Amino acid sequence: MATRFLTLADVSEILNVSGAQAYSLVRSGDLPAIQIGGRLQWRVEATELERYIERMYAETRARTVAQDAEQH
């Protein structure tokens, strides 16, 4: 069975970013997450991470197309 929830360490490893950057994505709301347990540790649902990645691909494409249009 695939893991449903990821730790911020998992997220930072998957995205190849620092733990602080993963935390910032969650705190800003860019990457939806929940807090669980007595220590309120952050967990990101794997499907939310995939949605975030797809959204970043779409935003990057749109930005690149706009930049290309400005240059021509």
Mean pLDDT of 21-49: 97
* Domain count of the fold of the chain: 1
Q: Is the pLDDT of residue 48 over 80?
A: yes
CA pseudo-torsion sign 6, 7, 9, 15:
positive
Alpha-carbon gap, residue 33 to 71, rounded angstroms: 38
Note whether 70 and 48 are within 8 A (CB): no
Which residue type sits at 10? D
pTM of the model: 0.86
The tens digit of pLDDT for each residue in 9-24 reads 999 999 999 999 999 9
Note whether 41 and 22 are within 8 A (CB): no
Q: Which domain CATH number covers 31?
A: 1.10.1660
Mean pLDDT of 51-67: 93
**Domain span including residue 52:** 5-71
